[in-house]
Amino acid sequence: MKTQDNERSVASVLLGAGYYPGDSQASRQDLQGQYVEEENVDIGGKSYTLSRISKYDVKLFADQLDKVCARDNPFIWDVYAKYAVHCLAAIRLTNTQSKQGFRGVSAKGNELDFSRMNARQFFDPDALPARRASWVRTIPALPAPPVTLAFLCDSTGAAVPVTMGEEECMIWLGWYNPATAPCSDMFQITLNTDLFDWQDMDFERVDLESGDVITEFKEPWILPPEEAGLINVRYFQDGTDEMRPIGLWIKEAKNMRAMATP
């Protein structure tokens, strides 16, 4: 059961924003004829187009994300719900290129699906070009702490950003760090060549009685199709860190069929 906000879900937030269909008895055919219209938005100082998408697609997305979160940490589910409109924007941004809509678990070909971020999707900055086996990261004794290390990078180098394909997109919402003694406390994003400010994520300030070791981004970060992103993290002490992102990776179904590219 959710304990952060028992009334909030992805579907309820999108319903309140006017995206999720209000008629629970509407047929699939009816919903496929109702649309969220195309619009332009600003992301990181640039203008992007969010595609027109049917309310049936919106319903599929919201219902499937709520379903996979239902047995998850309720505070993580609440983060997805809080930023449901932003998550839908990432779907629509990707659909501007793929143009086949969202089908989720039943998607085929160019239709879109999402996965919540897991370690095996990302390259291991400590063992490139291998992928991560786990979010657990051993931080060795630091001669002069703090130290900055890559968290999100390409397989070819820790300083090389990851470039999204033409029909894929990421949205980053926050961090979860269940380590006994977290070693990380700040992160910095680079989008293409634009360097963002260092952002605080002091897990030691989280109130464990009312929440969990979760910090949210000041605002969700979307890495759009065909653009490059890099995330560096500041580690202030040695030990075992378990920081992991809360977010979605959106791809066409045909690019989620292979185990090597989940």
Report the mean per-residue pLDDT for the chain.
Answer: 89
What is the spatial distance between Cα 176 and Cα 212, in angstroms, rounded to a whole number?
8
Among 83, 113, 143, give the residue marking a domain's end: 113
pLDDT band, very low/low/confident/very high, at 2 (cuts 50, 70, 90): very low
Question: Biggest alpha carbon distance in the chain?
Answer: 64
Say if 143 falls within a structural domain.
Answer: yes
Q: Are 176 and 161 in contact (CB under 8 A)?
A: no
235 with 152, same domain: the answer is yes
Is the confidence at residue 37, as pLDDT, over 80? yes
Residue indicated by tokens 């659909």: 95
Q: How confident is the model at residue 18 (pLDDT cuts 50, 70, 90)?
A: very high
Which pTM was predicted?
A: 0.91
Name the band, by pLDDT with cuts 50, 70 and 90, for residue 1: very low
The model's pLDDT over 159-211, given as tens digits with 9 standing for 90+, comes to 999 999 999 999 999 999 988 889 999 999 999 999 999 999 877 766 555 55
Please write the tens of the pLDDT for every residue from 117-137. Answer: 999 999 999 999 999 999 999
Cα distances (angstroms) measured from residue 207 to each of 187, 214, 218: 20, 10, 18
pLDDT at 93 over 90: yes
Tokens (6 digits) for 147 = 């130290």
* Cα 17 to chain centroid, rounded: 20
pLDDT at 104 over 90: no
Examine the fold and report which residue of 113, 129, 154 is the final residue of a domain before the chain moves on.
113
Residue 242: inside a domain? yes
Strand partners, 48: 41
Q: Are 140 and 200 contained in the same domain? A: yes
Q: Domain containing 45: what range?
A: 10-113
SS3 content of the chain, % helix, strand, coil (to 5): 25, 30, 45
Inform me whether the pLDDT recorded for 251 exceeds 90: yes
> What 8-state DSSP symbol labels residue 25?
T
Q: What is the pLDDT of residue 119?
A: 94
Task: Kindly state whether residue 3 falls inside one of the protein's structural domains.
Answer: no
DSSP assignments along 83-138, one per residue? THHHHHHHHHHHHHHH-S-B-GGG--TT-EEEEE--GGGSB-TTSTTSBPS-S-EE
104, part of any domain = yes
> How many domains would you assign to the chain?
2
